[in-house]
Chain A
Amino acid sequence: NAGVTQTPKFRILKIGQSMTLQCTQDMNHNYMYWYRQDPGMGLKLIYYSVGAGITDKGEVPNGYNVSRSTTEDFPLRLELAAPSQTSVYFCASSRSLATNEKLFFGSGTQLSVL
């Protein structure tokens, strides 16, 4: 049971470089999310999607872009990496907005920008 899969697990970028964090889920979930977690902090929502072709900003969207061309995939793009983007990034998904609907997380991507 794959669930939510993120790649890569670790990455080091130089300032100004770009990269795409990949996220795919095999549960046919409509809702997908990108969070970042800084040390000792809770998770902050970057972007989310309620279905293929529909995305919206979360709390901390600056410096990131997303797309959702299929139900399964929700990549996160960093165009000009900055040290402030050093963090652990988590992708998550849920099936619906029902009040008993749980959130499923990937194992995370640890990104360092030097």
Chain B
Amino acid sequence: KQEVTQIPAALSVPEGENLVLNCSFTDSAIYNLQWFRQDPGKGLTSLLLIQSSQREQTSGRLNASLDKSSGRSTLYIAASQPGDSATYLCAVRRETSGSRLTFGEGTQLTVNP
């Protein structure tokens, strides 16, 4: 059974700081890994998707990396802004689970002005 863990559960940083969010998974046989952003009272928005054959993906100030062999992914946020405050979730799609995703519990990020 795939298990996904995110550390830390909560993170508070001053504006402008670079930061890293961590995601680990127990089964390395994955199709892809997605990072989502969730704002209070809102749905999830997909930020980055890394396919199993890829090592990283970048979008603006966000960079996500994937190391399948070690079962780890990181989301790097450069020059953090108060608008980045949200909960960030990672989710993996296993090779044997069809279209289904397994989610981590999320990291609640607060960027202080």
Contact = CB atoms under 8 A, between A and B. Distances in A.
A58 interface: yes
A100 B32 contact: yes
A42 B4 contact: yes
A99 B101 CA distance: 12
Interface string A11-47: 0000000000000000000010101000011111100
A63 to B, nearest CB: 19
B98 A99 contact: no
A90 B44 contact: yes
Given A97-B98, A97-B99, A103 B46 contact: yes
A58 B100 contact: yes
A50 B99 contact: yes
A41 B105 contact: yes
B42 to A, nearest CB: 6
B45 interface: yes
A66 interface: no
A71 interface: no
Contacts of B51: 99-100
A100 B43 contact: no
A108 B43 contact: yes
B21 interface: no
A64 interface: no
A104 to B, nearest CB: 7
Interface string B23-45: 00000000110101000011111
Interface of A: 4, 31, 33, 35, 40-45, 48, 50, 58, 90, 92, 94, 97, 99-100, 102-108
Interface of B: 4, 9, 31-32, 34, 36, 41-46, 49, 51-53, 89, 91, 93, 98-106
15 contacts: A42-B89, A42-B103, A42-B105, A43-B44, A43-B103, A45-B100, A48-B100, A50-B98, A92-B44, A99-B31, A99-B32, A102-B34, A104-B46, A105-B44, A108-B42
